[in-house]
Each structure stands twice: as C-alpha cells, then as structure tokens.
Amino acid sequence: MTAVQTDSTETTAPETKADMGAYQNAWYRQAEGRPLGPPIPGLSPEQEIAVLARILFREGYDDMLAGHISYKQPDGTFLVTPYGLTWDEVTASDIMRVDFETETVLDGKWTVTPAIALHARAHAVRDDVVWAVHNHPKWATVWAAVHRLPGVFEQTSALIGPDVVLYDEYLGGAATQLDSEAAIAALGDAAAAILANHGVFVVARGLPQVYMRCVSLETRARVAWAALAVGEPVPLSDQVVSFAGLTMDRAGWPGAFEAMVRRELRHNPSFLD
C-alpha cells in the first residue's frame, strides 16, 4: 500500500519527464529516515477494497446503491463490492469474489450487480487494469449530463493527468456486455472516462493510484464548475497537466493514501471485520 519507490536520491528539479518520478520521491523523503506518518496495519485484499469504498464515499462517490469497485487477483478472479450495501457500510467480510471470465459469483454472502460486465471487460482487455471504480459522483456527473470534459484549473485536478475521455453514448446503463464493450473501447488506454448521462469509470494498477485518480477527477469536475461560474478561469497548460499526471503515476503522493486509511481507522475501523 505504499507508493512506488525509486533508488535515486537526486533532489534537483527534473529536467525531463523521465526523471520526474525520482524527483517527486526524493522531495518527499524525510531527513534521517523519518517516516511521513504513523504506519498503517497490513491489510488483506478484502480489507483494501472495503477501505477504498469507505474513503471514496467520503469523497462524493455516494449515489445510494450505485457503483462498484473491482480488484483483480493473481488467480484470475476478481474481488468486487456487493450490490446491496452502500460504500460507507462495506466491510471486508462483505466483499464478493467473481470468476474473471464467466462473471459468476464464487464466494460471498450478497449479490453482485449485472453492471460488473463493465469491469470484467476492462480487466480482460487491459493488463494494467488491476483496480476499476465506477460510480456517479456529484460533480463529475454534472459534466456527464452535458457531455463535456471539465477543464483543468488547479493542481489537484491535474494529478490524474490528461488521459480522461468522454464516452458520449448512453444506452440506459452499463449492465449489458454490448454496452460494456463500447464503453471500454471508448476508454482505450486512458486513466478514466466520463460516461455521458451516467457517471465515471476509473482504472489503475495500484490502490494508492486508483484512489488518487478518483479524487483528482472529482476535484477537477467540482473546481471547473465553480471556476466557470465565477468568471473566466485560466487553465493549466497541457505540459503542466502531463507533468503532474506522470509524476503521480511514477512516484505517487507518498503518505496520502495511508493518511486516509488512518482517518478511516479513527472514524470507523469496522471495515476490517
């Protein structure tokens, strides 16, 4: 659950995109080996998916029973949040295990949404999709309603990078294999898609990365709406957005996700059960 580390101790500003990950990591490294914060306990895969659901619920991924998170496992199955529970009540024992190819439930006491086909397709066609998140967060769904991508006007909004696409067709949901194939084709190699008249779909290799991408996308949607309401916001340059996204992908934001786990442990540690 830690960000990707590098061996470099270089602390000068990066001159190229190739060394920005090492720079980011070195910048956060504390003198004399001091940690960034208290350690978090080791978590099982089921606990990881449960705590991500809790954390994202706090960030606005909270549209009643809508949404699902999947986590691809080495044995070809994937773990998924149950359909009938809100994300702020999910615990490790609620997590379902689904067969990767047939989408049938292998283990778990609840039900799984038919829209899991969207996740199964993403996991099948992209090796880098280990985590996938779908929901209808408030601000990104506003942009989905107008079939537009929000601009990037501040730094947190840039952390997902430039690779956000719009899937501009709505067929009544993402519950069928046909709908899912079209949506994943539109996603291509991107980090996330805004699904027209629907919500968002975010993918990533790792847990801190998918958390950061989800938060960055919803922040982008919220800030863009507010900035445009105020007047004429000044967007970040494409170079800055690319720099921010690549930096996050290579080095992450060390300690950020762990801080959110500690917050959830303070608030309600029942996700461990």
Per-residue pLDDT tens digits for 104-115: 899 999 999 888
**pTM of the predicted model as reported, rounded to 2 decimal places:** 0.87
Q: In the CATH scheme, what is the homologous superfamily, with its name and number, of domain 45-264?
A: Class II aldolase/adducin N-terminal domain (3.40.225.10)
Describe the strand order of the beta sheet including 105-107 as a list of residue ranges.
105-107, 96-99, 77-80, 68-72, 131-135, 199-204, 192-195, 164-167
Structure token pair of residue 96: 């379902």
- Copy the structure tokens of residue 138: 């408030």
Residues of the chain whose pLDDT is less than 70?
1-32, 171-178
**SS3 state at 263:** helix
What pLDDT is stored for residue 172 in this prediction? 64
Provide the pLDDT for residue 176.
55
Instruction: Count CB atoms within 10 A of the CB of residue 254.
Output: 21
Q: Helices 256-267 and 207-230 meet at what angle, rounded to 10?
A: 90
- The predicted pLDDT at position 243 comes to 92
The Cα 233–Cα 231 span in angstroms is: 6
Question: pLDDT at position 180, please?
Answer: 79
